[in-house]
Amino acid sequence: MAFDMYHGSEKACIETHEESLFVPVNESSKYPCLNWLLAELYSSPRIPPEKSNKIVHELIALREEVLGTELSHITKTIDRLMPFFSKAYTLSNEVNCASD
């Protein structure tokens, strides 16, 4: 099952095998927006631009945390998602989400 995200003409996806992104995030107070996204993952949430900006900053912190650890493979997913959320914030676009 994939988690698709859209804003404007931009599209991003979190594939089932990429959900390990949320392992270090789960219930950590350092990542409130990513925890929210995890909780809402399959409820088709809408992400306002300000929350997209917060997600970018949490992804940056998460990338720093996992770099050089056994979870460093998730940096590829993080690197792909950061520009998507950053552009949503910059363009003041709401991100619409859908799961299949």
- DSSP conformation letters of 14-71: E-GGGGGGGTTTTT-TT-HHHHHHHHHTTS--EE-HHHHHHHHHHHHHHHHHHTTSTT
The 10s digit of each residue's pLDDT in 11-51 is: 999 998 898 899 999 878 999 999 999 898 888 899 999 99
Could you state, in order of their start, the residue ranges of all structural domains in the chain? 3-99
- Predicted local distance difference test score (pLDDT) of residue 60: 97
Query: Coil, strand, or helix at residue 10?
Result: strand
The 10s digit of each residue's pLDDT in 51-85 is: 999 999 999 999 999 999 898 999 999 999 999 99
- CA dist 34 and 13 (Å) reads 15
